[in-house]
C-alpha cells in the first residue's frame, strides 16, 4: 500500500525500515482508539457538510469492519503501511473508494495520533487505578486480619521499636491509595481532545472541535492548537511520573517481602504456587516475582527518563521525535499494571508466622516504652532515656499485644484507621467502575447513528 504522502517516488528500503522500527507493535494498541477517533471525526465532517449522510454511513461501516478484523487478529500492519493511521485510511479507500479519501479532511496524522493516544491513555489510566485500588484493598485486608500481630519495627535495618503486621501492611495500603492522586492528575491532563489541531496549526475550515470532544467523552477541548501538539509526550510523562510513584512503593513492598520471607527472618511465607525453584539446589523457594518488581521499578524510572529525554529541547510543533515516546510510555503502563497484579497476588497469599515475629520482639524493643512509662511518672524524658539506657539488661518483660493496643494516637498500631481506609478504597473503586462504564458507553454510542 502506498503512503499517504507519496507522490510517485519510492522510499528507500533502509530508511523505511528505520522510520518504522518496532513502532507498529505499539501502533497495534492504537487501532481501536483510532477507529473511535475516526468515527467521531467523520460524524463531525458530516455535520459541517463535508460528508453526505450516506458517505458517513459507508465510513462507519468500514471503520466497524476494521474493528472486527482487528479483534480477529486480522488487521495486520507491515512496514510499507508506515503506521496505523495510514493503514486505516488505505483500508477505507481500498474498500469504499472516494469516500475513504475524504476522511482525512481537516485532520493530520499529528493530531490523529495525539487523539488515539489520549483515548488509549484514558482507558489505561482507569485500568491502572482499578489495579492500584485492588492491590491497596488486598493490603488493607491483610492489615485488618493481622492488625495486632506483633512485629519488630526497623530503622537503619536494625530492630527499633515494637510494631505490628497491621502497621506494616497498612502503610503500603495508604501509600498506594495516595498514588491514585497522581493517576487522577494525569487523567485530568489527558482528558482534553486535541483533534482539530491538525498538523499543529489548525485548519481553514469551520470544524466543530467541541462536538468531537463531547462525542468521545472528553472533559474539554485542548484549546490552543499549538499547545495541543506541544503536549505530546507531556501527558505521557505525567502518567509515567504516577507510575514511578507506584513502582517506588511496590519496590519497597517487594524488598520487605523478600527480606521477611528469608530463613533468617521467617516472618512471612507465601504460597508455593507463587515461588520458583533452583535448577541445582532442590530446597530453594525463590520469590523471584518480587525481585522482578524491584528491577522493573528501575526500568520504569528509565522509561520516564527516555520519554523526557526525547522531549527536552524540542522546538514547537510536531516533530517525528515524538514517535519514540510511544514505546517507553506503553511499556511503562504495561509493566506497572503487571507489577500491581503480581503484588496483589503475593499479598493475598502472604501468611505471617506469628511465633517467629513474637520471638523477634526482644525486650530492647520496649526500651522506649519503658522510658515513656518513667515520663508519665514525671521524669524528664532525657533523664528517663539515660536511666533506661544504663540498664538495658534489666528491662522487664512486656506483653507485646497489650503494648500495641496502648498506642492509640492517630495512625499508631492501636488506631490504624483501617476500617475508614477500607471504606475510602471501596468508594474509590465504585467511582472508577462507574467511570469505566461511562467510557465504554461513550465508545459504544459511536456506533449508534
Ligand atoms: N507514527 C507517527 C507518530 O507516532 C504518526 C504521526 C506521523 N506524522 C508525520 N508528520 N509524519 O508520531
- The residues with which 220 forms a beta bridge, in sequence order, are 192
Strands (DSSP E) found in 24-157: 150-155
Residue 322 near ligand 1, beta carbon < 6 Å: yes
CA of 5, closest atom in ligand 1: 11
Backbone region of residue 78 per phi and psi (left: phi > 0; alpha: psi in -120 to 50; beta: other values): beta
- What pTM was computed for the model? 0.95
Predicted pLDDT of residue 398? 87
Report whether residue 83 contacts ligand 1, using a CB cutoff of 6 Å: yes
Are 104 and 4 in contact by the 8 Å Cβ rule? The answer is yes
Give the residue, out of 89, 109, 310, with the most ligand 1 atoms within 8 A of its beta carbon, to mutate for a pocket test: 109
Are the C-beta atoms of residues 401 and 366 closer than 8 Å to each other?
no
Within 13 Å and on the Cβ side, how many CA atoms surround 334? Answer: 8
Cα-Cα end-to-end distance for the chain:
31
pLDDT at 24: 92
Listed in sequence order, the residues at least 6 apart from 340 whose beta carbon sits closer than 8 Å to its beta carbon are 128, 131, 132, 134, 135, 246, 250
Mutate to test the pocket of ligand 1, among 110, 111, 197, 201 (most ligand atoms within 8 A of CB): 110
CA separation for the pair 76, 34 (Å, rounded): 15
Residue in the block written with cell 507498529: 24
Interval between CA 113 and ligand 1 midpoint (Å): 7
Q: Is 109 in the pocket of ligand 1 (CB under 6 A)?
A: yes
Which atom of ligand 1 approaches the CA of 83 most closely?
Answer: 1
Nearest-angstrom CA–CA distance, 170 and 139: 6
pLDDT string in tens for the chain (449-residue length):
677 777 778 888 899 889 888 999 999 999 999 999 999 999 999 999 999 999 999 999 999 999 999 999 999 998 888 899 999 999 999 999 999 999 999 999 999 999 999 999 999 999 999 999 999 999 999 999 999 999 999 999 999 999 999 999 999 999 999 999 999 999 999 999 999 999 999 999 999 999 999 999 999 999 999 999 999 999 999 999 999 999 999 999 999 999 999 999 999 999 998 888 888 777 878 999 999 999 999 999 999 999 999 999 999 999 999 999 999 999 999 999 999 999 999 999 999 999 999 999 999 999 999 999 999 999 999 999 999 999 999 888 889 999 998 999 999 999 999 999 999 999 999 999 999 999 999 999 998 86
Report yes or no: 350 and 270 within 8 Å, Cβ to Cβ: yes
The answer, yes or no, to whether any atom of ligand 1 lies below 6 A from the CB of 323, is yes
Domains, the chain, with CATH or none: 13-105 (1.10.275.10), 110-202+218-359 (1.20.200.10), 365-401 (no CATH)
Calpha distance 139→133 (Å, rounded):
10
- Nearest alpha carbon, ligand 1 atom 2: 323
Query: For residue 160, what are the CA distances in angstroms to 322, 339, 362?
Result: 49, 30, 10
pLDDT at 1: 62
Which among 113, 121, 325 is the best mutation to test ligand 1's pocket, defined by most ligand atoms within 8 Å of the CB? Answer: 113
Nearest CA to ligand 1 atom 11: 320
For the annotated catalytic residues, the residue numbers are 156, 278
Q: How far is the CA of 286 from the centre of ligand 1 (A)?
A: 44
Does the C-beta of 113 come closer than 6 Å to ligand 1? yes
Cα-to-centroid distance, 18 and ligand 1 (Å): 14
Determine the distance separating the centroid of ligand 1 and the alpha carbon of 109, expressed in angstroms. 6
Amino acid at each position: 500500500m502506498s503512503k499517504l504522502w507519496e507522490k510517485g517516488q519510492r522510499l528507500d528500503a533502509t530508511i523505511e525500515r528505520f522510520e518504522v522500527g518496532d513502532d507498529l507493535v505499539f501502533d497495534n494498541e492504537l487501532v481501536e482508539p483510532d477507529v473511535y477517533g475516526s468515527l467521531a471525526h467523520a460524524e463531525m465532517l458530516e455535520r459541517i457538510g463535508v460528508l453526505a449522510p450516506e458517505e458517513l454511513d459507508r465510513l462507519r461501516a468500514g471503520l466497524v469492519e476494521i474493528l472486527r478484523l482487528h479483534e480477529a487478529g486480522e488487521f495486520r500492519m507491515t512496514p510499507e503501511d508506515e503506521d496505523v493511521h495510514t493503514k486505516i485510511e488505505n483500508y477505507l479507500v481500498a474498500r469504499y473508494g472516494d469516500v475513504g479519501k475524504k476522511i482525512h479532511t481537516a485532520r493530520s496524522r499529528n493530531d490523529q495520533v495525539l487523539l488515539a493516544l489520549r483515548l488509549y491513555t484514558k482507558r489505561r489510566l482507569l485500568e491502572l487505578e482499578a489495579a492500584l485500588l485492588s492491590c491497596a484493598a488486598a493490603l488493607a485486608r491483610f492489615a485488618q486480619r493481622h492488625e495486632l500481630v506483633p512485629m519488630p519495627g526497623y530503622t537503619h535495618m536494625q530492630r527499633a521499636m515494637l510494631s505490628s503486621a497491621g502497621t506494616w501492611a497498612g502503610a503500603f495500603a495508604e501509600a498506594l491509595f495516595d498514588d491514585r492522586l497522581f493517576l487522577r492528575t494525569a487523567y485530568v491532563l489527558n482528558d482534553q481532545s486535541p483533534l482539530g489541531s491538525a498538523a499543529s496549526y489548525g485548519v481553514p475550515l469551520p470544524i466543530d472541535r467541541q462536538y468531537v470532544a463531547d462525542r468521545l467523552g472528553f472533559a474539554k477541548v485542548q484549546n490552543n492548537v499549538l499547545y495541543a501538539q506541544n503536549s505530546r509526550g507531556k501527558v505521557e510523562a505525567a502518567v509515567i511520573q504516577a507510575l514511578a510513584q507506584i513502582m517506588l512503593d511496590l519496590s519497597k513492598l517487594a524488598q520487605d517481602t523478600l527480606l521477611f520471607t528469608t530463613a533468617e527472618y521467617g516472618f512471612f511465607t507465601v504460597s508455593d504456587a507463587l515461588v520458583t525453584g533452583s535448577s541445582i539446589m532442590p530446597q530453594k523457594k525463590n520469590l523471584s516475582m518480587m525481585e522482578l518488581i524491584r528491577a522493573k521499578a528501575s526500568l520504569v524510572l528509565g522509561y520516564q527518563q527516555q520519554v523526557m529525554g526525547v522531549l527536552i529541547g524540542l522546538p514547537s510543533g510536531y516533530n517525528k521525535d515524538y514517535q519514540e515516546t510511544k514505546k517507553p510510555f506503553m511499556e511503562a503502563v504495561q509493566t506497572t499494571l503487571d507489577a500491581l497484579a503480581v503484588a496483589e497476588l503475593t499479598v493475598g497469599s502472604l501468611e505471617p508466622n506469628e511465633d517467629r515475629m513474637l520471638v523477634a520482639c526482644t525486650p530492647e524493643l520496649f526500651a522506649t516504652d519503658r522510658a515513656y512509662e518513667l515520663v508519665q511518672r514525671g521524669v524528664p524524658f532525657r533523664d528517663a532515656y539515660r536511666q533506661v539506657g544504663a540498664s538495658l539488661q534489666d528491662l522487664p518483660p512486656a506483653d507485646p499485644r497489650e503494648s500495641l493496643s496502648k498506642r492509640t494516637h492517630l495512625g499508631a498500631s492501636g488506631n490504624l484507621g483501617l476500617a475508614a481506609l477500607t471504606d475510602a478504597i471501596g468508594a474509590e473503586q465504585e467511582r472508577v467502575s462507574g467511570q469505566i462504564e461511562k467510557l465504554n458507553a461513550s465508545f459504544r454510542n459511536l456506533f449508534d447513528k
